Amino acid sequence: MSPLNSIEDLRQLARRRVPRAIFDYADRGSYDEVTFNRNLDDLAALQLRQRVMVDVSAQQLATNILGEDWSIPVGIGPTGLTGLFHANGEMLGARAAQDFGVPFCLSTMSICSIEDVRSAVQKPFWFQVYLMRDRSFNQELLERAKAANCSAIMLTVDMPVQGLRRRDPKNGLSIPPKLTLKNVFEVAMRPTWALKVLSGRRRTFGNLEARMKGTGGLKTLSEWIAQQFDPTVTWKDLEWLRANWPRKIIIKGILDPEDAKLAVEHGVDAMVVSNHGGRQLDGARSTISALPGIVDAVAGRSDILLDGGIRTGQDVLKALALGAKGCLIGKAFLYALAAQGQAGVTLALDILRKELAVSLALTGANDVRKVTRDILVAR
pLDDT-based confidence at 74, cuts 50/70/90? very high
Residue partners of 51: CB distance under 8 A and separation at least 6:
362, 363, 364, 375
Distance between CA atoms of 301 and 124, rounded to whole angstroms? Answer: 24
pLDDT at 97: 98
Domain assignment of residue 69, yes or no: yes
How do residues 87-139 score in pLDDT, each as one tens digit? 999 999 999 999 999 999 999 999 999 999 999 999 999 999 999 888 999 99
Whichever domain contains 110, its CATH number is: 3.20.20.70
Task: Report the distance separating Cα 12 and Cα 342, nearest Å.
Answer: 17
- Quote the number of domains for the chain: 1
Backbone φ, ψ for residue 350 (5° rounding): -70, -35
pLDDT at 201: 85
Strands 68-70 and 74-76: unpaired
Residue 273 near residue 257 (C-beta atoms within 8 A): no
Per-residue pLDDT at 333 exceeds 60: yes
Residue 211's pLDDT is what? 73
Q: Kindly report the CA angle at 320 between 308 and 35, in degrees rounded to 5?
A: 20
Q: pTM here?
A: 0.94
Residues 6 or more apart whose CB falls under 8 angstroms from that of 111 comprise 81, 82, 83, 84, 89, 90, 200, 202, 203, 204, 205, 206
Give the span between the Cα atoms of 308 and 277, in whole angstroms: 5
235 assigned to some structural domain: yes
Find the range with the poorest average confidence among 48-57, 186-195, 207-216: 207-216
Which range among 95-109, 219-233, 349-363 shows the weakest confidence by mean pLDDT? 219-233
Q: What is the pLDDT of residue 30?
A: 93
Residues assigned a catalytic role: 276
Is 291's pLDDT higher than 70?
Answer: yes
Residue 27 has pLDDT above 70, yes or no: yes
Whether residue 210 is predicted with pLDDT greater than 80 in this model: the reply is no
Residue 11 has pLDDT above 90, yes or no: yes
**Domain region containing 263:** 7-370
Q: Are 136 and 241 in contact (CB under 8 A)?
A: no
- Range with the poorest average pLDDT among 72-81, 177-186, 277-286: 177-186
Domain membership flag for residue 65: yes
Residue 377 lies in a domain: no
* Confidence label for 184 from pLDDT (cuts 50, 70 and 90): confident
Q: Evaluate whether residue 136 is within a structural domain.
A: yes
What is the chain's mean pLDDT, rounded? 92
